[in-house]
């Protein structure tokens, strides 16, 4: 059986079961600006918009990693697209934040696909699978243990760079402490309708 999910635009509330987001347009429009000025009135500062998360038992270290994510040819352009998901992965002990660098602010330029864990099996609960189109001024934090597809970039750029924050063990004896994968045949498809 084929599972098809339709991608929707990322919002703070829709992503909340899977982690948190940094989405300035939405988050700043929801506050009273005058109470949040910073830097001698030249900035607005919001506290704690996204949460870095690590789970016990934990002795890993926080890292900034860099991902240069290449746009696959079938995901270029603006036509409606169907994309197959073949791998979901999770970082059982750490959140992971992706901050896009150099994408147009108002344009969807990457896609995140997430699922909650099935408590009985530890595997993805595909009934909770969701796909979100993210703009250049949105960053996402997958919560610790949240299943997600490897980054999917969209549009006409050759690649998109991301700064990525995660806690890692780097234990050669136990790489599964940092990352676990679940593989699928092509039975999970995401429909993407770009603007
Ligand atoms: C940050 O936000 C989270 C989620 O809303 C909340 O649980 C936490 O207590 C907040 N932390 C601080 C320091 O305000």
Among 51, 141, 143, 144, name the best residue to mutate to test ligand 1's pocket (greatest count of ligand atoms within 8 A of Cβ).
51
What dihedral angle (degrees, nearest 10) is formed by the CA atoms of 100, 83, 107, 25? -70
Instruction: Say how far apart CA 4 and CA 145 lie, in whole Å.
Output: 23
Q: What is the pTM of this model?
A: 0.93
Give 68 or 187, the one with higher predicted confidence.
68
180 CA to centre of ligand 1 in angstroms: 27
Instruction: Say how far apart CA 132 and CA 10 lie, in whole Å.
Output: 5
User: What is the pLDDT, as a whole number, of residue 153?
Assistant: 94
19 CA to centre of ligand 1 in angstroms: 12
User: What is the pLDDT, as a whole number, of residue 187?
Assistant: 81
> pLDDT digits over 90-147, tens only?
999 999 999 999 999 988 999 999 999 999 999 999 999 999 999 999 999 999 999 9
Residue 160, both tokens: 């998109």
> Looking at ligand 1, which atom is closest to the CA of residue 20?
4
User: What is the pLDDT, as a whole number, of residue 194?
Assistant: 53
* Block residue for tokens 């994510």: 69
51 touches ligand 1 (CB under 6 Å): yes
Q: How confident is the model at residue 173 (pLDDT cuts 50, 70, 90)?
A: very high
Q: How confident is the model at residue 195 (pLDDT cuts 50, 70, 90)?
A: very low
Among 48, 53, 95, name the best residue to mutate to test ligand 1's pocket (greatest count of ligand atoms within 8 A of Cβ).
48
> Looking at ligand 1, which atom is closest to the CA of residue 47?
14
Residue nearest to atom 13 of ligand 1 (CA): 48
| Contact predicate 167/60, CB 8 Å | yes
Give 3-state DSSP helix, strand, coil % of the chain, rounded to 5: 15, 45, 40
Domains of the chain: 3-23+49-192 (2.60.120.480)
84 touches ligand 1 (CB under 6 Å): no
Residue 17 has pLDDT above 70, yes or no: yes
Instruction: Say how far apart CA 158 and CA 195 lie, in whole Å.
Output: 19
> pLDDT digits over 18-68, tens only?
999 999 999 998 777 666 888 888 888 999 999 999 987 767 899 999 999
């Amino acid at each position: 059986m084929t599972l098809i999910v339709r991608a929707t635009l990322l919002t703070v509330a829709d992503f909340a079961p899977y982690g948190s987001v940094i989405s300035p347009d939405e988050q700043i429009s929801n506050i009273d600006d005058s109470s949040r000025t910073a830097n001698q009135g030249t900035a607005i500062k919001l506290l704690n918009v996204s949460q870095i998360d690590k789970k016990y038992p934990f002795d890993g270290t926080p890292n900034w990693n860099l991902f240069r994510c290449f746009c696959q040819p079938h995901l270029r352009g603006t036509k409606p697209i169907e994309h197959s998901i073949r791998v979901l992965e999770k970082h059982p002990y750490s959140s992971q934040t992706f901050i896009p660098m150099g994408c147009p602010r108002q344009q969807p330029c990457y896609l995140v696909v997430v699922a909650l864990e099935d408590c009985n099996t530890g595997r993805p609960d595909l009934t909770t699978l969701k796909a979100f189109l993210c703009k250049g001024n949105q960053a996402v934090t997958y919560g610790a243990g949240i299943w997600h597809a490897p980054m999917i970039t969209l549009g006409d750029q050759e690649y998109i760079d991301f700064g990525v924050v995660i806690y890692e063990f780097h234990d050669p004896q136990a790489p599964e402490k940092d990352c676990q994968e679940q593989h699928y045949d092509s039975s999970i498809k995401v429909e993407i309708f770009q603007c």
